[in-house]
Structure formats: C-alpha cells, structure tokens
Structure 1
Amino acid sequence: MTGFARDILFLLPPGFEDNDRREFCPECAELWGVLSYFPSIKDSVEIRHVGIEHPRAPICALLGDGQWNAPTLVLGPGNRAADDVPIETAAGREFIGSARGIALYWARKYGTPVPRGYTPR
C-alpha cells in the first residue's frame, strides 16, 4: 500500500453497528453526496472503506499511528492543493481530514462549487 498515484479517499461504510444500533457517518454521507453530484470526481479517486473500530489499519499504514479519522483524503504524489485548502502532513504524506476540506480541495482541483458556509482556516 505504499505506492499509489491517485488520491485515496477513506470512508466509513454507509451503515455500521456502533453504540448498540445501526449508524452512519454524516461527514462520509456528505462526501457521497458530493460524489453523486459530480461523478467525474469519483472516477479520479480511489475509494476505500474502513471499519468503525480504532485504529483503522489502512489509514495508519499510510499516515502512521494515531491517524485514523474517516473521512480522510490522502493526496497522491505530486497532487497539490490550493493555499486555502486545510492540508495536514503525517508520515511524509499530505492529507485532508474533514468532509468540507475535501470538498474545497475538489472545488479547487475540478472546478466544482465551493461548500456553502465553509470558511477555510
């Protein structure tokens, strides 16, 4: 899992068991909505589902221990983000760890609309 060319989007599955009930992740659902609005983005990113339990090994394998947030978009080598996109770095890789930050990255990269009400840091 060390070499990859496309951005990798880690999401929780659409439904999972937690807290003794079926749940879903609102931020992950938000990104599925963006991908359904703009399906060409979906074709350009690799989507990987991870489980609800911590640590989330597939994310930790790329970003290191303690990094397991979902949704997370790990940028492919050479993929750059605009200056107003909230990029973090771990284990030498750049990533975005929030749905609105990921949507802003996609807006800057693909020309889609900016998320309403989102103020970059």
Structure 2
Amino acid sequence: MSKDILFLLQGDFMRGLEGPFYCPDCIALEGLLAYFPRLRDELDVVHLQFERPRPAIVEVLGEDHQDSPSLVLADPAKAKEWDLPVKEANGRHFMDDEKSILMYLSLAYGVSRSPR
C-alpha cells in the first residue's frame, strides 16, 4: 500500500426513517480536504454508505472495524513516532478517531492544524 486510505461516510444518509444526517467527525475531515485540496491527490479518499456492511472498509480492516472516519496508514511508524493512537487489524495499522486523524494529516502532510 503506497498511500494512506481515508474512509469517510457520505453525507445525506438516512437512519431508518430519520434524516438526512451527516457524520460530524467526517465533515470535519471533509473541511480539511476542502481547505487543502492537494490532500485528495496524496491520499486515497473512499466514501462509504452509512448502511453496514461497508464492503470497502471490511475488505481492508475486517467486519469488526467498519467505523468512519478511519485512516489506514501506509507507514504506521510516523504515527507511532508522534505518539498518536494506532490500532491494528488484518495486518493493517489504522486510526479511527477524528482528532488523531486530523493531527496525523497535519503532521504527515504539512498542512495547518487546529489550535485546539
């Protein structure tokens, strides 16, 4: 795997008869991608439907790790070096919390970060 893979939920999803909704964590990452469009070329960005199973992420991380956002790391050593929380599944290293993913993208790709 040569690029980090960022899995995000598509917006305007329904939960049963309720909605439409968006994922607040995913929209924060979409905002970063909008601020820094080059990230879309430097990452593999995959948009997922809300309904499970989510085949694209299941193929990479397995059925137990379908949460979004998730960032599958091409080089987990960088994240570990920066003391960011890294999980492992199916022999792949990943992060699945918005704040850690935002920090990783800022550090690894040299884009601005939040002051919070």
What is aligned with 2:104?
105
Structure 2: how far apart are the matches of 1:112 and 1:77?
Answer: 18
What is aligned with 1:9?
6
What is the DSSP-based 3-state SS (H/G/I as helix, E as strand, rest coil) of the residue aligned with 1:100? helix
Tell me, yes or no, if the aligned pair for 2:85 and 2:100 is still in contact at 8 Å. Answer: yes
Tell me, yes or no, if the aligned pair for 2:4 and 2:43 is still in contact at 8 Å. Answer: yes
What is aligned with 1:43?
41
TM-score by length of 2: 0.86
Q: Which has the higher helix share?
A: 2
**What are the ranges of 5 or more consecutive residues in structure 2 without an aligned counterpart?**
none
Structure 2: how far apart are the matches of 1:61 and 1:91?
Answer: 9
Question: What does the per-residue CA deviation read over 1:42-63, in whole Å, with 9 as the maximum and x for residues that have no partner?
Answer: 2100111111112222111111
Structure 2: how far apart are the matches of 1:78 and 1:99?
Answer: 17
Q: What RMSD over aligned residues (CA atoms) do the two structures have, in Å? A: 1.8
Question: Which 4+ runs in 1 deviate beyond 4 A?
Answer: none
Tell me, yes or no, if the aligned pair for 1:55 and 1:66 is still in contact at 8 Å. Answer: no
What is aligned with 1:18?
15
TM-score by length of 1: 0.83
